Every structure is written in structure tokens, then in C-alpha cells.
Structure 1
Amino acid sequence: MKFEPLSQRIDYGVDAPGAVRNLLLLGLTGWALWAAWLLGPADHPLVIRLSGFVLLAEALVVLAALSILFTAGGVWMLWESRIGKLRRRDRLLSLIDWHGGEQVLDVGCGRGLLLIGAAKRLTSGSATGIDIWQKEDLTGNHAAAAWNNIRLEGVESTVDLMTCDMRRMPFPDASFDVIVSMAAIHNIYDKQGREWAIAEIARVLKPGGHALIDDIRHLDQYERVFAQAGCPLSERFESKAFRVFVTVVSFGLLSPGVLKVRKTA
């Protein structure tokens, strides 16, 4: 089923909007406390409370450092959502040797970023996107928003969408030549659930087909499960400098990378 377009503007949304909001609020709170200490009057309640600490200077340095990290993290996530992920999509899809007739699956397609990028590389093939459209994962995350982008990008005849759980896909074995996923599988919070999702990707991938998984954590787990399912690693792509930056601003919560696997015949 297709939906009426929502707008005349292509919009792939802001990823993890709750996390962006929280990081920016924490950063602003830290800066406000720091400014209150520096600019407030001597009898300000905050000054009176803090002046009793022996390590006041060290505390202010820590507060400033945390404010910088929180603010940088929020700003980076906004930049990544609006600009960075568009560039990363093109780099990711260039890792596939496209022939034009592929059957493509985007797992956790959201508002259609990878799905549409893949569809534009097809001539006689088709691309299918699946999602359960969780609002906390992406602003405006809904099939209607994806269809709006699909229409505006001019790939309606090549693309289809389905609402389904990546842990239980309704496709026969060996249905797709290429399977892609960007920042989606980590949203399954239990380890067993992520393993089911990877096993399902391996199941519906054709022998000789490739899967590209771009995610912000759990890459080692994905690689292990793929190998067990007959999809050994072809390549793993990680920028050490970028990974260090993301690890620092996320306080060790994120460790991004890309896996490319190929299903053995």
C-alpha cells in the first residue's frame, strides 16, 4: 500500500532524536553552571556551595570538559543525520559491484536512505525495504515518510515497502542478491534478538550474494553469526580516527564500522 506524499521536500530525518536532545541539554546545562560560577555574584548560592570544595578548579575543568563532550556529541549527531549519512550512503553502496538487475533488501530502511540509493543503481532489478517504524530511532519514522522520499527521488516503480520484524522475515530462502542495513540492527537490545536478525539476513541472501552492514556497535557479534551461517567476512571497514572520536564523544557506547560478507554457494 502506498501513501499520499507528506511534503515536497526530501527528508531522511534525525537519527536517535532522544539522544541528540539529551546530549545538547546536558551540554547547555554544563555551560550554564560554569557561567553561573564565573559570572555570578560572590554571594550567589551556587558559589557558596561550590566554594567549600578543595578541588574547585579541578571540578570546573571536569565540568567544562563534560560540557564540551556533550555538546560536541549532540552537534555531531545532528550533522551526521543531515549531511554525514548522505555521504556515507554513497560510500557504502560503492562497495558493491552493481549490474542493475539485483534484488535488494534494506533491513531497517527507515525513511528510505539506503533503499533509494540502491534503487537508483538498478535497471531491471528491484529494492524492498522493511521496518517496524519505531519513532525513537528516527524523527518522523513512518512508511508514509519513506514513500514521500521514494516519490520525490523518482524510484517508485523500483521500490516496495513492508512492515515486518527483521528477526522474522516473510521471504523465502535465497531471495536477495544484495542486503544492506544502516544503523538499524543495534536497535534490537537483546543479544539473542540481534543474532536472529543476522541469521535471517543470511537465510534470505542468495548464494554468492553480499550483505553490507553499517552499524554503531556489535560488529564483532554480527561477524561471528554471519560466519556461522555460511557468510564469511569479505571486508571490514573502519576509520580509526573516526572510531576514536565517536568512542570519546559517546563515552565508549559507540564503536562504528561496516561489514561486507558474501554467502558461500
Structure 2
Amino acid sequence: MKRGKYGLDAPVVVIGYISGGILFSILGIILYSKESWMINLGIIFLIIGLYMTYGSKIGKYKMRKKIIQKLSIKGNEIALDVGCGRGLMLNGVASKLNSGKAYGIDIWNANDQSGNNYDAVMQNAKIEGTESKIKVINSDMRKMPFQDGYFDIIVSSLAIHNLKNNDERKKALLEIARVAKKGCKLAILDLAHIKYYEGILSSQGFEIEHIDKFQIQIFPPVKVLYAEKR
């Protein structure tokens, strides 16, 4: 399977770390006798920036493969990617479908991912050969345009934490619970608030099967929550 082009996650942050790393390193070298701490700080910033770049270019593909394997997709499911971005998880799930269909929703914020838009999703679908298996909709995750109990599989990657507070995250999680049918398999990858997600989902009839903690393929390290609606 060919890999699409899924951009740089949190591009402003990555550029900030790398630029800061270069700047502090140069200043530290120039002022070495008095400001050697700048070299150390510059190296730390560079390591973080490069680590984040690795996560965007390599690590998240490894996470996609791992999550899809754990979902044990049969091929006839109706799937949803909540906050699909440029389509990494959407196209990964769709690649395992034959008679099924994968839907992606997003409002595409460029601060979350470079080159983040609908056209990028469809271009990546073309590269990965999933165009006929997906449908992409401009929609807020807090108010989804789907009927109750519609999906067999729901995934979300690095999306829900972007909502501004737990009240807004709760709205998204309640929508996920609403559109999930009984037996729906759920996987949420995120870098924060997983414990909060667990509580909300448990109250909505999901059985939390497992939480993969401290997944270092992406920086900051992420967690993945796996659940099934009973």
C-alpha cells in the first residue's frame, strides 16, 4: 500500500522548536565562555523538534498499522474517522474494507496539521487507492450529520484534545456514543485527556477494553483507548 502525504503535525510548534534550537545553539557557540547553557538548551529544542518530525513522517504510520490490526476489520463495516485531518486513519481503515464504507469528518484547521484540507484527503485517497471507499464531510465533531447507531468502527487520532475544554470534548464524545451501534469498535489516539474520555464513554455504554499508554512513536508520547459499545 502506497503512503499518502500526511503533513507535519503541529507545524507551528515543530518550527518553533527547531528554530529555537538553532538560535540558542548559535548564540551558545558565540558566547560559549559566558552562556554555555544556551548550547544545551538549543540541543534539547532540536531533539524535540526532530522527534516531532519523526513522529509525523514515520511514527504515525506505525501507530496506524498497530491500531488497524487491533480493530480486526472484517471488510463490510461502516467506519468513521472523527477529525480525519489529511486522512491518515481514514484511508488506513478504508484500505481494509471491501463492501464497507469509511466516512471522515473535519473542519480542517491548518494549525493542527500542515496542508490540512479536503483536497489533501482526497489526494491521499487517490495515492492509497481508497477513493471509492471513502466519503469526506465538512462537519464539527460536536454535531455530526449521522443517524443514531450508524457505525461499526469509529477512530479518532490527535483530534479531540484540540477542543478548547472538557465541556466541548464531552459533546464530541457523546456524539461518538450516539452514532455508534451496539458492538461498535472504538479507538481514540490522543496525547491528553484519555482518562476523561474513558469516564464519559463508560457512562455511555462502552466497555473499555484496553489503554495503550506511553506510545513513543509520536512526540509528545500518546495513549490509545480501545473500547466496544455494549
TM-score norm. by structure 2 comes to 0.93
Q: What amino acid is the match of 1:35?
A: I
**Cα distance in 2, alignment partners of residues 192 and 71 from structure 1:** 35
**Cα distance in 2, alignment partners of residues 10 and 178 from structure 1:** 22
Per-residue CA deviations over 1:204-232 (Å, capped at 9, x if unaligned) read: 11111111001111111111111111113
What corresponds to 1:83 in structure 2? 58
Per-residue CA deviations over 1:23-54 (Å, capped at 9, x if unaligned) read: 1111112101210112xxxxxxxx7xx5xxxx
Whether 1:192 aligns to 2:186 is no
What corresponds to 2:192 in structure 1? 217
What corresponds to 1:208 in structure 2? 183
Per-residue CA deviations over 1:84-126 (Å, capped at 9, x if unaligned) read: 1111110111111211111000001111111111011111110
Secondary structure class of the residue paired with 1:211: strand
Secondary structure class of the residue paired with 2:103: strand
**Cα distance in 1, alignment partners of residues 214 and 144 from structure 2:** 32
Secondary structure class of the residue paired with 2:206: coil
Distance change (3 Å), C-alpha of 1:210 and 1:237:
same
Distance change (3 Å), C-alpha of 1:180 and 1:137:
same
Q: What amino acid is the match of 2:7?
A: G
Q: Which of residues 207, 217, 223 is equivalent to 1:257?
A: 223
Provide the alpha-carbon RMSD of the alignment: 1.8
Aligned length: 228
What corresponds to 1:235 in structure 2? 210
Q: Which of residues 92, 100, 106 is equivalent to 2:81?
A: 106
Secondary structure class of the residue paired with 1:136: coil
* Superposed structure 1 runs of 4+ greater than 3 Å apart: none
**Cα distance in 2, alignment partners of residues 79 and 222 from structure 1:** 27
What corresponds to 2:16 in structure 1? 22
**Cα distance in 2, alignment partners of residues 168 and 65 from structure 1:** 46
Whether 1:11 aligns to 2:5 is yes
Secondary structure class of the residue paired with 1:180: strand
Give, in angstroms, the shift of residue 65 of structure 1: 3.3
Q: Give structure 1 stretches of 5+ with no counterpart.
A: 1-8, 39-46, 51-58, 247-253
Report if the CA contact (8 A) 2:25-2:40 is conserved.
no
Q: Give structure 2 stretches of 5+ with no counterpart.
A: none
Give, in angstroms, the shift of residue 66 of structure 1: 2.3
TM-score norm. by structure 1 comes to 0.81
Report if the CA contact (8 A) 1:213-1:258 is conserved.
yes
**Cα distance in 1, alignment partners of residues 40 and 200 from structure 2:** 39
**Which one has the bigger strand percentage?**
2
Q: Which of residues 160, 165, 170 is equivalent to 2:140?
A: 165
Give, in angstroms, the shift of residue 75 of structure 1: 0.4
Identity %: 37
What corresponds to 1:70 in structure 2? 45
